[in-house]
Amino acid sequence: MSTVLAFDVYGTLIDTQGINEQLQELVGDQTPTFSQRWRDKQLEYAFRRSLMGAYADFSQCTRDGLEFVDRALQTQLSDNDKDALMATYGRLPAFTDAADALARLADSSKLRCVAFSNGSREAVNGLLEQAGILEYFEDIVSVEEVKRFKPDPAVYAHLHNRLEVAAQDVWLISSNPFDLIGAKHAGLHVTWIRRSAEAPFDTWGGEPDMTVSDLNELVDRIT
């Protein structure tokens, strides 16, 4: 039986810091703070919507996060500025290791690669296509199909049920500890892509089954 590698998208394959060049032009020295708080609020709103049973597309969580941080930091972005930032968010670049690592995985007959994301299928398809890595995925599994967000157990159950494999035959590949803890709780194996040596893992979630510094190290260890 083949093993499924389910790749998180935002922050794992796609670099969410790719927005920073455009932010620099708009908010200057506040860029690092603005970028991090925007990402944090995007995820917070997804978590809250999932708990409330008030699902909205991930892009709405992203826009709401942008609106909040603009108010909180008093950056006074115009509607045109916000629209332009949201458009760029739909064209974020892949990490430099993604294409090479995925191409190497494509040579294995024992591995199935899927993208698994909080983003809508349409948004993820567009991101992966413009980044030149869509061809390496058998499928895109989006949480919109169950209208819950990671780390709700329902989304991980949906992942392995839709792919018709047991939970233990799926490895989640992610740089986001909250995602990994959720997947491990749901019975999946997990690999942490620890892109920064300073990045901590949550102390209460148990250790990942595997930790690597980038996607190429992942391929080296599993093929």
Give me the CATH number covering residue 109.
Answer: 3.40.50.1000
Give the pLDDT band (50/70/90) at residue 1: low
> Is a pLDDT exceeding 90 seen at residue 206?
no
72 with 101, same domain: the answer is no
Tokens at 148, concatenated: 């819950």
Residues of the domain holding 22: 16-89
pLDDT, one tens digit per residue, over 157-199 is 999 999 999 999 999 999 999 999 999 999 999 999 999 999 9
Task: Looking at the structure, tell me whether residues 113 and 76 fall in a common domain.
Answer: no
The answer to whether the predicted template modeling score (pTM) of the entire model surpasses 0.85 is yes
**Residue 8 annotated among the catalytic residues of the structure:** yes
Q: Which of 89, 122, 140 delimits the end of a domain? A: 89
Are 30 and 60 in a shared domain?
Answer: yes
- My answer on whether 119 and 200 are in the same domain is yes
Could you give the number of structural domains in the chain?
Answer: 2
Q: Do 43 and 55 sit in the same domain of this protein?
A: yes
140 plus 48 within the same structural domain: no
Q: Which of 33, 59, 89 is the last residue of a domain?
A: 89
Per annotation, catalytic residue among 8, 81, 97, 152: 8
pLDDT-derived band at 205 (thresholds 50, 70, 90) equals confident
User: Are residues 180 and 169 part of one domain?
Assistant: yes
Q: What is the pLDDT of residue 108?
A: 83
* pLDDT digits 0-9 by tens, 63-74: 999 999 999 999
Domain finish residue from 89, 105, 137: 89
